[in-house]
Amino acid sequence: MADKRFQPVSGMELPRFAGVPTFMRLPNVAKGDELYSLTEIGFVGIPWDGGTTNRPGARHGPRQVRDYSTMIRSTHPVSWVNPFELCNCSDLGDVSPNPSGLEDTLERVKTYYKQIKADNITPISVGGDHLTSLPVLRGLADKSAPLSMIHFDAHTDLFAGYFGGTKYTHGTPFRCAIEEGLLDPKRVVQIGIRGTMYDGDDIKWGRERGVTIITIDECMERGFKDVMAQARDIVGDTETYLSFDIDFIDPAFAPGTGTPEIGGPDTWTAQQYVRELAGVNVIAADLVEVSPPFDQSGNTSWVAASILFEILCIVAQARKGWEA
């Protein structure tokens, strides 16, 4: 069982709306703290939206997701897994970004994650826009051992560039990651792709390199079990990065995001997609593109926090080698 000091504060003892909000009411630890060295899974905020080509605000994501995550309890309602019993989990705070410095921020995040990796902490990152996934991957992966990826999103994020040649935006991270050898495209699965297209070059480029792109229509026709069986098959037991863009979910459920696309799955279905990752060797995960300024009710952050708990259960079990 995990260290008692890593147990989240219970809503039975301190009401959920009380206290300084950390991710899931976990201890907020910093490099150098005693608890840091004992941490197995660390939540990290990346409050930055400098790669956003459309509606901004994802820089406010980590703060609001922390707030709503204090409504999460400790035990999974289907599996009855308590991830806080499996692993020592903590809130590592935010990577310090530079709101007006794109390259600077990419460097800061990469450096941070190299350290996380060196410290043997499994990170669950909370964005921030989707460009943040690129420096995370730069910190965690390298050409000698490209990662697999299962990616839930309305968009492929495989574009070549925007606005006459800007390479780094939230629409390009995975093309960069593939080109940099951080991901093996043949072990990349993208699920939920939809929405009007510029010209489809992103999809064509991806498929040519072996990326498996499953559109929302395919998802609806085949169902989550079949889709995820294929995804599990593709990544096998390789080290797999999990990237969850909140716009995967329909904007009626998660309106607070930069580039919503209608016609997405509801939250129950989204939960099933994550639960079907059982057995996958997830070595890091992120949840990105929560934009609180476009989320007046806060529902998006509550959805995000709830999905983060699903992800945490997967990550914790993966960290323990899916023993249970």
Shortest distance (Å) from residue 146 CB to a copy of itself: 25
Shortest distance (Å) from residue 69 CB to a copy of itself: 11
Omega prior to 161 cis, within 30 of 0: no
Pick from 5, 31, 37, 101: which binds a copy of itself (CB under 8 A)? 101
Shortest distance (Å) from residue 32 CB to a copy of itself: 13
Q: Does 309 interact with a copy of itself (rule: CB under 8 A)?
A: yes
Q: Does 262 interact with a copy of itself (rule: CB under 8 A)?
A: yes
Paired with 123 in beta bridges are: 42
Shortest distance (Å) from residue 237 CB to a copy of itself: 27
Q: Identify which range of 136-144, 183-191, 238-246, 295-303 contacts a copy of itself by CB under 8 A.
A: 295-303
d(Cα 317, Cα 315) in Å, to the nearest integer? 5
Q: Does 173 interact with a copy of itself (rule: CB under 8 A)?
A: no
Query: Taking a C-beta distance cutoff of 8 angstroms, is the pair 53, 38 a contact?
Result: no
Q: Does 220 interact with a copy of itself (rule: CB under 8 A)?
A: yes
Q: Does 197 interact with a copy of itself (rule: CB under 8 A)?
A: yes
Which has the closest alpha carbon to 111: 136, 146, 74, 148? 136
Q: What angle do CA 170, 206, 116 make, to 5 degrees?
A: 50
Pick from 1, 4, 13, 321: which binds a copy of itself (CB under 8 A)? 13
Q: Does 135 interact with a copy of itself (rule: CB under 8 A)?
A: no
Pick from 31, 37, 166, 225: which binds a copy of itself (CB under 8 A)? 166
Paired with 152 in beta bridges are: 191, 244
Which has the closest alpha carbon to 134: 198, 182, 63? 182
Q: Identify which range of 177-185, 214-222, 228-236, 281-289 contacts a copy of itself by CB under 8 A.
A: 214-222
Q: Does 93 interact with a copy of itself (rule: CB under 8 A)?
A: yes
Shortest distance (Å) from residue 70 CB to a copy of itself: 8
Give the x/- contact pattern for a copy of itself in 45-84, rule: CB under 8 A. x-x-xxxxxxxxx-xx-xx--xx---xxxxxxxx-x-x--
Shortest distance (Å) from residue 234 CB to a copy of itself: 22
How far, in Å, are 109, 181, 270, 273 from residue 225 at the CA level? 35, 30, 12, 8
Pick from 123, 139, 206, 264: which binds a copy of itself (CB under 8 A)? 264
Query: Exposed e or buried b for every residue in 70-80, given b needs 16+ CB within 10 A?
Result: bebebeeeeee
Pick from 31, 96, 210, 322: which binds a copy of itself (CB under 8 A)? 96
CA end-to-end span of the chain: 13
CB-hemisphere CA count at 13 Å for 155?
26
Pick from 97, 127, 146, 185: which binds a copy of itself (CB under 8 A)? 97
Q: Report DSSP letters for 80-146, one per residue.
A: ---HHHHS-EEEEEEPPP-TT-HHHHHHHHHHHHHHHHHTTPEEEEEES-GGGHHHHHHHH--TTSP
Q: Does 321 interact with a copy of itself (rule: CB under 8 A)?
A: no
Q: How many chain residues touch a copy of itself (CB under 8 A)?
A: 95
